[in-house]
Amino acid sequence: MSVLQGDQPTHHGGGMTTRHQVPWLDDWQDFEAAVASIRQGEFDPETYGVDPGETFDRNMWRYWNVAYSIRHAVEHCQSVSFNAVECGVAEGGTAFIAAAQLAAEPVANYTFHLYDAWEGMRGDGLLPSEISLAGRYSSLSEARARDNLERFSANLCWHPGHIPESLDDTAPTTVSWIHIDLNSATATLDVLEYLWPRMPEGAVLLLDDHGWLFWDDTRRVINRYLRSRPGTLLPLSTGQAMYFR
Ligand SMILES: C[S@@+](CC[C@H](N)C(=O)[O-])C[C@H]1O[C@@H](n2cnc3c(N)ncnc32)[C@H](O)[C@@H]1O
- Per-residue pLDDT reduced to its tens digit, 184-238: 999 999 999 999 999 999 999 999 999 999 999 999 999 999 999 999 999 999 9
The pLDDT, as a whole number, for residue 165 is: 98
Strand 177-180 to strand 156-160: parallel, antiparallel, or no bridges (unpaired)? Answer: unpaired
Percent of the chain residues past pLDDT 70, beyond the cut: 97
Distance 164 CA to ligand 1 centre (A): 13
Q: Domains in the chain: how many in total?
A: 1
In a domain, 2, yes or no: no
- The answer to whether residue 80 scores a pLDDT higher than 90 is no
The pLDDT, as a whole number, for residue 6 is: 66
Q: How confident is the model at residue 14 (pLDDT cuts 50, 70, 90)?
A: confident
Q: Are 178 and 172 a contacting pair, CB within 8 Å?
A: no
Distance 89 CA to ligand 1 centre (A): 6
- The answer to whether residue 111 scores a pLDDT higher than 90 is yes
Distance in Å from the first CA to the final CA of the chain: 32
In a domain, 228, yes or no: yes
In a domain, 162, yes or no: yes
Pocket probe for ligand 1: among 42, 43, 89, the residue whose CB has the most ligand atoms within 8 Å is: 89
Residues in contact with ligand 1 (CB, 6 Å cut-off): 88-90, 93-94, 115-117, 121, 125, 137, 140, 162-163, 181-184, 187
Pocket probe for ligand 1: among 131, 181, 190, 240, the residue whose CB has the most ligand atoms within 8 Å is: 181
In a domain, 3, yes or no: no
pTM for the structure as a whole: 0.96
Q: Where are the beta strands (DSSP E) in the chain?
A: 11-13, 16-18, 82-87, 110-116, 156-160, 177-180, 204-207, 232-235, 241-244
Domain that holds residue 139: 11-244
Percent of the chain residues past pLDDT 90, beyond the cut: 92
